[in-house]
A = this chain, B = another copy of it.
Amino acid sequence: MPKIIILNVGTAHALGDHTSSTHPITRSGWRHAWFAERGDIIVSPVAVDGDFLRYLAGTMGFDPDTVTVLSRERLVTDEFLMSDDVLGELGELTADGAAWQLMPCFWTQGVADLAARLGIDSRAGLAFAAQRGSDLLNRKTHFRQFAAGAGLPLPEGSVARTPYELARAIERHLPLTGTVIVKQDDGAGGLGNLTLTRGETGPLPGSRETLKVGDDLPALADEVWAALADELSHGLVVESYHSSTRQFYLEYVIGDDGVPTFLDSGEIRLRPDADPGSTELVWVGLDIPAALPPALSAQAVHHSLRLAELTAQVGYRGHINIDAIATASGDLVFNEVNARWGGGLVAHDICERLLGSGYADRHVAATVRDVPPAPLDAVLRTLREERLHFSRDSSEGVFVLACDPSLVTPMECLVVGATRDRVREIEAQLRKALA
């Protein structure tokens, strides 16, 4: 069954500019071209370079000419999907009688409308999507409500709907650890989070900047409110901030039958910015699978499955990612849920297709997001020369996950090996070879 891969990345995120396709998060969407299989259509905010498509198709073993990329160099919004232009082209492309499937990052109203227009409307979850049901799930405030209802361990915290409530909530949750995190309702990747502390104001995981809490809390609350609240926001989340030893996610896909299937887990790697003046940490990538101690792992699966099941009961069908941390004292605390593809999904998909299901018991995968941009052909030549490219024989090596032909956005690689140490070793060789 061929599928339409819809890279509507960023449409439900607070990326500021809602139509341009130049934001790094949008451009990193190239990695999702790896979802393609023979005969698929990719609806993308950015054109997919022909060389890149040939490279990934060659790696995965299908004919790249069977894949169609539909792009107009603008964000894949609901309006874009329902435009006459796009509807017309997709209508022609899918008029072959095949049983087309949709694979969107977000199940938006526009995706449901598109399904109806293309006659792909038998799928469960479309009625929920048509009412913007994912909005119920992709909100930080709602996460705390659903998670509290499902009994997940949460940081001490609450929901604030006005600057006054924000000041009260900061006052209330600051004493526990001396730091609170304030989360934008609809933020992505920590871009919408600020930390407020009575201690040092250095960069902290999950936060774009750490501010000092002084004597004038109402003024600080007003400042934070102005920075984070927006027209579509339902409020802000305020939580006691815990330093973490692990930050990880668990990803599920909820099938048409409403049953969640566990897909993958991963840990988030961060490092200080080379620029000492930077207010935030650099996201290096994801280590898949998350290497959790046994009891914590069991708790994490137990609780995240409860939330995934609740999400299914509410009516959502599709991918769901649940983020958690292990605190310095070893406690499990859940942070947020995202009803969309996770950042590690494409790595999981590649590994499962090339290494088989259960690959995570025998292999480790690491995405590396901060590789300096370089021309794809030069990178591939270097990988071959240095024998670093992924080999089916050795089941280890490097993939170029995403590559910006204009050399603006950093390159993203996927490194696979038998152990995490081995993966780090290959990564070091990769960085050296490309330096």
Residues of chain A having any CB pair with chain B under 8 Å: 109, 127-128, 130-133, 135-136, 141-142, 144-146, 148-151, 158-159, 161-162, 231-232, 234-235, 310, 313-316
Interface contact A132-B128, CB-CB below 8 Å: no
Bound-state CA distance A131–B236 (Å) is: 11
Bound-state CA distance A144–B313 (Å) is: 15
CB of A15, distance to nearest CB on chain B (Å): 16
Interface contact A149-B232, CB-CB below 8 Å: no
Partner of A315, one of B135, B141, B146, B232: B146
Partner of A148, one of B127, B145, B148: B127
Interface contact A313-B315, CB-CB below 8 Å: no
A133 — which chain B residues lie within 8 A by C-beta? 145, 148-149
Interface contact B131-A159, CB-CB below 8 Å: yes
Interface contact A158-B310, CB-CB below 8 Å: no
A141 — which chain B residues lie within 8 A by C-beta? 131-132, 135
Bound-state CA distance A165–B159 (Å) is: 27
Q: How many copies does the complex hold?
A: 2
Interface contact B158-A131, CB-CB below 8 Å: yes
Bound-state CA distance A132–B158 (Å) is: 8
Partner of A314, one of B109, B127, B231, B310: B310
A314 — which chain B residues lie within 8 A by C-beta? 145-146, 149, 310, 314
Interface contact B130-A149, CB-CB below 8 Å: no
A131 — which chain B residues lie within 8 A by C-beta? 141, 144-145, 148, 158-159
Partner of A158, one of B109, B142, B148, B234: B109
A162 — which chain B residues lie within 8 A by C-beta? 231
Interface contact B130-A148, CB-CB below 8 Å: yes
Partner of A313, one of B158, B159, B235, B313: B313
A-B contacts, 29 of them at CB < 8 A, read A109-B158, A127-B148, A127-B149, A128-B148, A128-B149, A131-B141, A131-B144, A131-B145, A131-B148, A131-B159, A132-B141, A132-B161, A132-B235, A133-B149, A135-B159, A135-B234, A136-B142, A136-B145, A145-B314, A146-B315, A148-B315, A149-B313, A149-B314, A232-B234, A232-B235, A234-B234, A310-B313, A310-B314, A313-B313
Contacts A131-B158, A314-B314 known; list 20 others, CB within 8 Å: A128-B145, A128-B148, A128-B149, A130-B148, A131-B141, A131-B144, A131-B145, A131-B148, A132-B161, A132-B235, A133-B148, A135-B141, A135-B145, A146-B315, A148-B315, A149-B313, A149-B316, A162-B231, A234-B234, A310-B314
